[in-house]
Amino acid sequence: MRFALVVIALVACNSDRVEEPPRKTPWVHTEAQRRAAIGDVSTLSPELQRAFDPIDFVPTPPPNTSDWLDVYDEPGQTFDEHQAGKFHAPDDVRRVLYILPLGDFRADVPSPATLARIAHAYFGLEVRVLPAVPLADVEAKRRGLDVRGRPSQMFVADVLRWLVPRVPDDAQALIAVTMMDLYPDDKTWFTFGQGSFYERVAVESFARFDPEFYNGDRKPDWQKVMLARAAFTTIHELGHTFGLAHCTYYECVFAGVTNRREIDRRPLHACPICLRKLHAALKFDPARREDDLAAVFAELALDEEAAWSKQRAAWIRTGSLR
């Protein structure tokens, strides 16, 4: 029970649709509330003030039916609330992010090595990919059968519990990645991933990022779309291991999602509130970090994200958006 209470998830209640009507009125923040959530920046350097300036960030829109904020009642987490919590930050011993592949990965899907490059640029920490572990060795409940008669889903809480004793001594966090589908409880169809605030573990599944999962056609750019979805989930779940709750203030990589439509509309960049939380833990140079992200995104043909990071780096350094 304790473990379940500290887990944050990217959950979907069924195959991208929820049949029940909305249960609540969605959270809608005013501009003043969004700026207040960033916290007092008056004593920061001009560069940091620009890094946490909300200019060009898109406020969270009202959710569509079955979107995260249509289903889950979350007010969001301010910078000050994050700082008041007990979150893990790198120290002299724990300074490495680990990626643990579970099972096999096809050659045409995002590789753990590619995710490691993105995570390194995003968090500024060393990232190591561990040897893959066969799915049969993962002690987790299964349910459902695939077309070959094999179990099709793993119970995500069991996977996280299995990961905890396997966290390396020098790890800031350990994230497992798999092509096997995940589920969070008996009433919910699936989850894209989950991460823990306190145990420094997370897991994500790429199963539903492939259009063929739903018998859809693979368009010419399907691999780039799948890569963007995998990058989103990797960044998102690792963010939870730094104590970041779901963002409800802006369109942000740390916003909750229940379906692929939400993932596809979200950016890979963090909003100013969440960026400030990461900066408090990691102490990076914001402009140099955007340079690193722009380079990696450009190499991976994630052109919109590359352009965003390049422009943001210029803004942080000069205060000019041109």
| Contact between 209 and 10 (Cβ < 8 Å) | no
Q: Say which residue the tokens 């561990």 belong to.
A: 130
Percent of the chain with pLDDT over 70: 89
Helices (H), the chain: 2-5, 31-38, 46-51, 68-71, 79-84, 112-123, 156-163, 222-241, 260-265, 272-282, 286-299, 303-318
Domains of the chain: residue spans and CATH: 2-318 (3.40.390.10)
Express each pLDDT in 106-161 by its tens digit.
999 999 999 999 999 999 999 999 999 999 999 999 998 665 666 689 999 999 99
Q: What is the DSSP letter of 106?
A: -
Helices (H), 85-144: 112-123
- List the catalytic residue out of 237, 262, 290, 305: 237
Percent of the chain with pLDDT over 90: 77
Express each pLDDT in 65-112 by its tens digit.
889 998 888 989 999 999 998 788 899 999 999 999 999 999 999 999
| Long-range pairs, 104-111, Cβ under 8 A, ≥24 | 104/132, 104/179, 105/132, 105/179, 106/179, 108/223, 109/179, 109/206, 109/209, 109/210, 109/223, 109/226, 109/230, 110/206, 110/226, 110/227, 110/230, 110/231
Express each pLDDT in 208-256 by its tens digit.
998 888 877 889 999 999 999 999 999 999 999 999 999 999 999 999 9
* Residue 147, CA distances (Å) to 110, 144, 150, 151, 256 in order: 23, 10, 7, 10, 31
pLDDT for position 22: 44
Q: What is the pTM of this model?
A: 0.91
- Distance of alpha carbon 112 from alpha carbon 39, whole angstroms: 35
- Distance of alpha carbon 162 from alpha carbon 134, whole angstroms: 13
Express each pLDDT in 171-180 by its tens digit.
999 999 999 9
Catalytic status, residue 204: no
- Distance of alpha carbon 294 from alpha carbon 273, whole angstroms: 20
- Distance of alpha carbon 145 from alpha carbon 160, whole angstroms: 22
Q: Per-residue pLDDT for 322 more than 90? A: no
